[in-house]
Amino acid sequence: MANGNLIRALRKIVEGEHLAANGLAVAASKAKDLDLQKILSDLSSKHETNAVAAGTKLKELGGKYPVPGLRDTLKKGWEAVATTRNTADSIKFIQQKERESVEGYRNILKKVKDERMLGLVARNLADNSDNLNALGDKLKQLKGKKKGKSFLGLPKLIWVTAIGAAIGIIVKRRLSSEPSQS
């Protein structure tokens, strides 16, 4: 990869990592679940670290860091996350962006010849893959909470119905076993 192409690739990586960090921070502030806030904050920190590492590499190659125009890009990303309806939609949106990022890193990996750049891209790719798994697990957990609480694998409605039927049977037996008073 020529130096100019390498700088362009790094600029794109820096923008994407900052955008992801910013979006995750917004999603974390929007989340009500403390566990989810921690997960999103941790993922945001990972992206921020990756952005700084890519920015350092960009400076070494003669590029500008922070990247010009980054503020406008971050504003668009923040607005995209902020306008999602709920936490699940935020996570789905972030997952979509993480998938796009993984695909972008795979394309860069095919073209990179520089070993240091290869290591940076491979680490970012691994982080994004881990992020996708963490977000997927949390989304499944959130969907499970929405379906309603269950006890021993059965939905609440079945338990209420069973308890009601049991009470009905007990009352009926007691009424039928009591001698009638005339």
pLDDT digits 0-9 by tens, 24-73: 888 888 888 888 899 999 999 999 999 999 999 889 888 888 877 777 77
3-147 belongs to CATH 1.10.760.10: no
Do residues 79 and 23 touch, judged by C-beta distance below 8 A? no
Phi, psi of 147 (to 5 degrees): -70, -10
d(C-alpha 19, C-alpha 176), whole Å: 72
Average pLDDT, the chain: 82
Q: Where are the domains of the chain?
A: 3-147, 148-182
Q: How many residues does the chain have?
A: 182
Mean pLDDT within 105-113: 84
d(C-alpha 166, C-alpha 16), whole Å: 59
Token reading at 123: 């680490």
* 0.75 surpassed by pTM: no
Token reading at 175: 């009424």
